[in-house]
Structure formats: structure tokens, C-alpha cells
Amino acid sequence: MIAYILRRLVSISVTFFIVSVLVFLMMHAIPGGPFDAQDMPLSEAVRDKLMARLGLDKPLHVQYLSYMAGVLQGDWGVPYQSPGETVIELLARAWPPSLILGGLGVLIGVPLGILLGMAAALKRNTWIDYLASAIATLGLTVPVFVISMLLILVFAVWLNWLPASGWGEPKRWILPIIAYAAIPLATYARYTRSAMLDSLNKPFVTVLRAKGLSERRIIFQHVLRNSAIPMVTVFLPMFIGTATGSIFVEAMFRVPGLGSYFVSSITTRDYPLEMALILMITLMFSGAYLISDILYAWLNPRIRIGGRE
């Protein structure tokens, strides 16, 4: 197991390196720079001095190496759009709103999704099942900005129950949380339904019924436990997915979170922020997949006891 983890860590570092080179090159290949005349009317001398101070006048490979040397020491640079703070400080300021909304969305969406999936599996081919499938398909196929738009139109524009946008009092959080909850709810409804149907058809359920165990104990103690493994392993990647989902949710609901920086860092050529955002998300996804795979092996007795394959 340890050898496996080490091998995966090596592969993650290689991935990290390749992604960093690719993103760095693509980022600099985009025409224009952070201090172009149309955005910032600066004199030639000031611009040159600024470029020299940020090291933007050096050849690309030198810039890349000095940037990566900084990153490896935990120094992610200073964002050009707000030079008063470091990239880390900016993220520490902008991430919490996204984390709160995304986290609450996941916390609400996952249990609801599991309940919905269980109801669908137990009442197969009834209206509950069809409703659950419809909700799951809607949540998984329709982009989150369309869901957000529908929420705003129904609850803010027509019914006028909730404010459409903003950040502050918790009333404003409700719609974005529902928008964030859509994907976890749909994912879990679908996974739970198919995993439970899978387990319900296994012979052990027949045995348990034959020995007279109550249906409730069969479902909660045996079937649910048997279907839990895929549900545990999709959790982390999905949770990190809310970070990229924030681009749309926060644009729709005008939340001052991480989302807007994904776009603005690209359009204003804010190289340090852009690199930091993409590299951190990549790292978090790699880490999430690694942890999920370890959890999968650890939770599955066939792998844990029998050794890997």
C-alpha cells in the first residue's frame, strides 16, 4: 500500500510539473500583457520599471524557473490586480464565501440525494423513482448557471420571496446554496439508486430475508453499507468541483468569492493569480482522487485483506 501511495505521489508531482509548464506557456502565449496601454495609461519608463521589477522582461524559462522556485518555497507571488497582498492572502480572503456556500450546498445536497436515491431504489418504477430520475438528470445535465437562472426567475423575480443576489445576511445565501446543492444531490441520487439496486439483487439479501430479518434492518445495516463504497469515493472530487462551479454560481448571484477571480485573472493577464488558481485546483483534484482511491481500497475488505489485485 505504501509503495502504491508513493508511486501515486510521484505521478502527481509529474502531472503537477507538466500542468504548470503547459499553463505557464499558454498563459504567456495569450497576446497582451498585464500592463497594456489600453488598460493602464502608464509612461514608457514606468511600465519598463514595473515589468523589470516583476521580472516580466526576462526570458520565459527564467521567469518560469524563478516562479516555480518561489512556489516550492510556499511563495505564490503577488496578484497584479491587488498588489497590496500576496496571492495566498487574496485566496484566504476570497475563498471563505465560496467554501461556505459550496460546503453548505454539499452538506444539504448529499443527504437529500441519498434519501432520494434510496426512495427511488426501494420504490422502483413508481412515481417516486421517476421523479428522482428526473431530478438527477436535470441536476447532472443542465449547467449550473441555467439552474441558478431558473432559481432566480422563480424565487426572486416571480414569487419575490428571496433576494436574487448579494452577500451578507443569510437570507441571501439560500438561492446560491440550492444552486450549489443541485450537482451533489443529483450525483448522490443517481449513485445511491444504482448501488442499492445492485445490492438488493444480490443473494445475501435473499438469505437475510429468509432468516427473517426485518426489511428495515436489511436496508439500513446491510444494503446501505454494501452500497456505501462508491458513495464515499465520489465525495471529495465532487466537493472540489464546487470550486469551479463557483465561477457560475457567484457570477449569477454576485457573491464576492473565488469565482470571479478565475475569469478576471485570465482577462487581465494576472499571471501569478492565474497560475495559483489552476495549480491549486489541479493539486486538490489529484489529492482528492488519491485519497478516494486509498479510501476505496481501505473500505473494500476484498482489497484490504486480499492485498491489491
Binding segment toward other proteins, per CB under 8 A, in 49-57, 116-124, 175-183, 259-267: 259-267
Binding segment toward other proteins, per CB under 8 A, in 43-51, 74-82, 132-140, 176-184: 132-140
Neighbours of 105 (CB within 10 A): 25
Helix (H, G, I), strand (E, B) or coil at 273: helix
Q: Which residues, other chains included, contact 49 with Cβ-Cβ below 8 Å and sequence gap of 6+?
A: none
From the CB of 92, what's the least distance to other proteins, in Å?
Answer: 20
d(CA 213, CA 228): 20
Q: Is the CB of 103 or the CB of 163 nearer to other proteins?
A: 163
Q: How far is CA 138 from the centre of its chain?
A: 19
From the CB of 49, what's the least distance to other proteins, in Å?
Answer: 27
Conformational region of residue 41, where left means phi above 0, alpha means psi within -120 to 50, and beta covers everything else: beta
60 touches other proteins (CB under 8 A): no
Q: What grid cell was written down for 35?
A: 500592463
Q: What grid cell was written down for 168?
A: 451578507
Q: What grid cell was written down for 169?
A: 445576511
244 touches other proteins (CB under 8 A): yes
Q: Is the CB of 114 or the CB of 274 nearer to other proteins?
A: 274
249 touches other proteins (CB under 8 A): no
* The only residue of 96, 221, 263, 300 in contact with other proteins, by rule CB under 8 A: 263
From the CB of 164, what's the least distance to other proteins, in Å?
Answer: 8
Binding segment toward other proteins, per CB under 8 A, in 56-64, 77-85, 115-123, 143-151: 143-151
d(CA 41, CA 24): 26
Which has the closest alpha carbon to 288: 243, 234, 233, 236? 236
* The only residue of 107, 266, 291, 295 in contact with other proteins, by rule CB under 8 A: 266
From the CB of 19, what's the least distance to other proteins, in Å?
Answer: 6
247 touches other proteins (CB under 8 A): yes
Dihedral angle computed from the Cα positions of residues 222, 225, 230 and 231, in that order, rounded to the nearest 10 degrees: 130
Q: Are 165 and 254 in contact (CB under 8 A)?
A: yes
Which residues of the shown chain bind other proteins in the complex (CB under 8 A)? 11, 15, 18-19, 23, 26-27, 29-30, 133, 137-138, 140-143, 145-146, 149-150, 152-153, 157, 164, 194, 241, 244, 247-248, 251-252, 262-263, 266-267, 274, 277-278, 281-282, 285-286, 289, 309
